[in-house]
């Protein structure tokens, strides 16, 4: 195997955080503390970088992290807030020094970690493009050749000669990403700041990162958007309390992360009827009669169960669902066809209907369920709830799904597992 473009060995980072001190309460204590402050502050300043004694003021953001990244690899880094993701990227971007450990990086690094990182507020957008390119070691001629493409991608051409200090956070992110992605770095480091941009720009950014990776450049990507991590990354690190708790296939990594997520919720929605003739009361997504948590395996058969209430005798009701993915693609629509073709009037009461979706149907990523209650004779939409439920679909690398044992990005809007005939020698 070729030499890795990034090599991290036993990396640690610790900080000394301030502890709350008792405030002087009486006038005598206030006068006394006034004269003691210079000496007290000098002592605190001296102790800031002394870690010989471990106490409550010492916080380890990272501890003994080791991993390698190969040329052209897209590495995802996920974890809860405070897990150490941003600290790791700052160290790799040489913004922060590690406390201990070793880092070897081969090539130029362009990073977008915080809104406006690397921008001089007094300089215009165009001047900042040249400044960033110069920092990356590019010549003016090289930057000139990329300038039009950078400005066009960012969408801020109208304000490109305006000082960056007047930009909104979204404009800074647009320009920052465009600069980082187009100035030919060997390594592109992107933090969660893409969440600041609108949906269309996020989509553009993900497309650009795929393009960058396809050109053999390396991408490190931190995000809380699991579908983006699944679509983009070939390998994922899960950080927990400053440690690597898992490293490997994106689907398995997301499953490990979501399986221990404190805010885990069920794929269930309860709605209150508002005096309507027909109203949805409950929607659940199940597998083998168990209400699913926030993720499902591609190999699971899913059952969408809709409970609704009819408040008037003699109504005909047909439940249905629409399913979309995170990118807004409408995957399919399904209605209770029997009740559409041969409607049967219902009496007042609570009813339940369900539909099963076969296993090996969805691809990885987030899917959204919209639910409707309708009549087709006459045509009436009693209630339509847009994207009221979501599930994150994950896949394995054990050979039991369509991806087989391939651990990289696996394209497609659906993921059917077809049966192939036996490989046999052709007879000429």
Domain limits, the chain = 6-14+52-259, 268-394
- Phi, psi dihedral angles at 68 (to 5 degrees): -130, 150
The pLDDT, as a whole number, for residue 320 is 94
Mean pLDDT lowest among 5-14, 17-26, 101-110: 17-26
Q: Following CA atoms 109, 110, 114, 117 in sequence, which dihedral angle do they give, to the nearest 10 degrees?
A: 110
Percentage of the chain exceeding pLDDT 90: 30
The pLDDT, as a whole number, for residue 352 is 95
The pLDDT, as a whole number, for residue 274 is 57
Average pLDDT, the chain: 82
What CATH architecture applies to the domain 268-394? Distorted Sandwich (2.70)
348/270 Cα distance (integer angstroms): 20
| Per-residue pLDDT tens over the stretch 311-345 | 999 999 999 999 998 777 899 999 988 888 888 89
| Per-residue pLDDT tens over the stretch 233-265 | 888 999 998 999 988 878 778 777 776 444 445
Position 397 pLDDT exceeds 60: yes
The pLDDT, as a whole number, for residue 27 is 59
- What is the arithmetic mean of pLDDT over 174-203? 77
Quickly name the fold that domain 6-14+52-259 has. Rossmann fold (3.40.50)
User: Which residue intervals of 99-248 are DSSP H helices?
Assistant: 125-135, 140-154, 169-182, 199-214, 226-232
């Amino acid at each position: 195997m070729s030499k890795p473009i990034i090599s991290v060995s036993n990396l640690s980072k610790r900080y000394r955080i301030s502890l709350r001190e008792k405030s002087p309460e009486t006038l005598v204590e206030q006068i006394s503390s006034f004269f003691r402050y210079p000496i007290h502050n000098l002592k605190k300043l001296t102790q800031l970088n002394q870690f010989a004694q471990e106490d409550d003021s010492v916080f380890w953001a990272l501890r003994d992290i080791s991993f390698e990244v190969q040329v052209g690899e897209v590495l995802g880094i996920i974890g809860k807030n405070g897990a150490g993701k941003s600290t790791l990227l700052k160290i790799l971007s040489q913004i922060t020094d590690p406390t201990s450990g070793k880092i070897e990086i081969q090539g130029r690094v362009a990073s977008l970690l915080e809104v406006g990182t690397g921008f001089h507020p007094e300089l215009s957008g165009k001047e900042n493009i040249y400044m960033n390119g110069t920092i990356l070691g590019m010549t003016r001629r090289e930057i000139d050749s990329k300038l039009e493409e950078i400005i066009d991608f960012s969408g801020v051409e109208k304000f490109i000669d305006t000082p960056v200090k007047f930009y909104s956070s979204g404009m800074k992110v647009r320009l920052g990403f465009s600069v980082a992605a187009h100035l030919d770095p060997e390594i592109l480091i992107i933090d969660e700041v893409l969440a600041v941009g609108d949906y269309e720009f996020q989509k553009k950014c993900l497309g650009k990162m795929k393009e960058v990776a396809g050109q053999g450049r390396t991408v490190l990507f931190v995000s809380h958007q699991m579908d983006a991590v699944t679509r983009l990354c070939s390998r994922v690190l899960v950080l927990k309390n400053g440690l690597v708790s898992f490293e490997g296939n994106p689907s398995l990594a997301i499953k490990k992360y979501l399986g221990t997520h404190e805010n885990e919720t069920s794929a269930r929605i309860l709605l209150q009827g508002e005096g309507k003739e027909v109203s949805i009361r409950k929607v659940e997504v199940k597998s083998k009669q168990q209400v699913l948590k926030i993720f499902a395996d591609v190999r699971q058969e899913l059952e969408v169960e809709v409970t609704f209430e009819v408040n008037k005798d003699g109504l005909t009701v047909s439940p249905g669902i629409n399913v979309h993915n995170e990118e807004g693609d409408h995957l399919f629509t399904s209605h209770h066809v029997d009740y559409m073709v041969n409607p049967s009037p219902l009496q007042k009461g609570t009813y339940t209907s369900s539909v099963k979706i076969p296993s090996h149907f969805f691809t990885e990523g987030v899917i959204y369920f919209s639910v409707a209650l309708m009549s087709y004779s006459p045509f009436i939409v009693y209630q339509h709830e847009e994207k009221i439920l979501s599930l994150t679909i994950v896949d394995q690398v054990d050979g039991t799904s369509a991806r087989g044992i391939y651990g990289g990005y696996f394209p497609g809007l659906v993921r059917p597992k077809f049966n192939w005939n036996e490989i046999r020698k052709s007879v000429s």
